[in-house]
């Protein structure tokens, strides 16, 4: 169940699909670049905003090393062949990324989100030591859920 949620969400974060509004990082960049009201609304000079979006597109394209690309390919394959269209593929025939690979993709997404949040809306998501401000909120929620599932006998620790 967890890989299903992680797989679909994380694959979509990096997806660039012109047919569907996926609320992905590329989609946000498209919205910023294609809406002439954005610089005024964000109180950022258009040239500065163009430089920022160019930088983020470059990071999206070049920050991915071979392992990132392979992990994302595996996630997309799992999502497309098993979750979205449940083809007759055995679970053992699906090559899933490791949790370390998923964590690396998640870290990249969080870093880009932190940069965009700081530059666009002046919200700090990442502090100087590299930790993320909302991670503690997510940790608390996941611990509470784990405790609930454990206490109800759904899982055993």
How far CA 84 is from CA of 7, 20, 53, in Å, comes to: 11, 15, 31
Please, are residues 70 and 98 in contact by the beta-carbon 8 Å criterion?
A: no
pTM of the model: 0.71
39-64 residue pLDDT tens: 888 888 889 889 999 998 888 887 77
- Count the helices and strands in the chain (H runs, E runs): 7, 0
Give yes or no for residue 149 having a pLDDT over 70. no
Q: List own/partner pairs for 11-20 with CB under 8 A and 24 or more apart.
A: 11/72, 11/75, 11/76, 11/79, 13/109, 14/60, 14/72, 14/105, 14/109
CB atoms within 10 A of CB 76: 18
Please, are residues 14 and 24 in contact by the beta-carbon 8 Å criterion?
A: yes
Q: What are phi and psi of 128, to 5 degrees?
A: -55, -30
Give yes or no for residue 124 having a pLDDT over 60. yes
4-43 residue pLDDT tens: 667 677 888 888 877 776 678 888 888 888 888 888 888 8
């Amino acid at each position: 169940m967890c890989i299903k949620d992680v797989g679909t969400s994380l694959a979509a974060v990096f997806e660039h699909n012109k047919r569907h509004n996926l609320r992905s990082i590329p989609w946000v960049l498209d919205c910023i670049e294609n809406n002439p009201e954005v610089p005024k609304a964000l109180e950022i000079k258009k040239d500065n905003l163009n430089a920022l979006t160019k930088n983020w597109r470059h990071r999206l394209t070049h920050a991915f090393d071979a392992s990132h690309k392979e992990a994302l390919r595996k996630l997309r394959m799992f999502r497309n062949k098993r979750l979205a269209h449940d083809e007759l593929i055995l679970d053992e025939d699906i090559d899933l990324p490791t949790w370390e690979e998923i964590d690396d993709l998640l870290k990249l997404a969080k870093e880009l989100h932190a940069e965009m949040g700081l530059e666009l809306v002046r919200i700090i998501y990442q502090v100087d030591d590299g930790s993320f401000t909302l991670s503690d909120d997510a940790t608390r929620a996941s611990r509470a859920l784990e405790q609930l599932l454990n206490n109800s006998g759904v899982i055993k620790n």
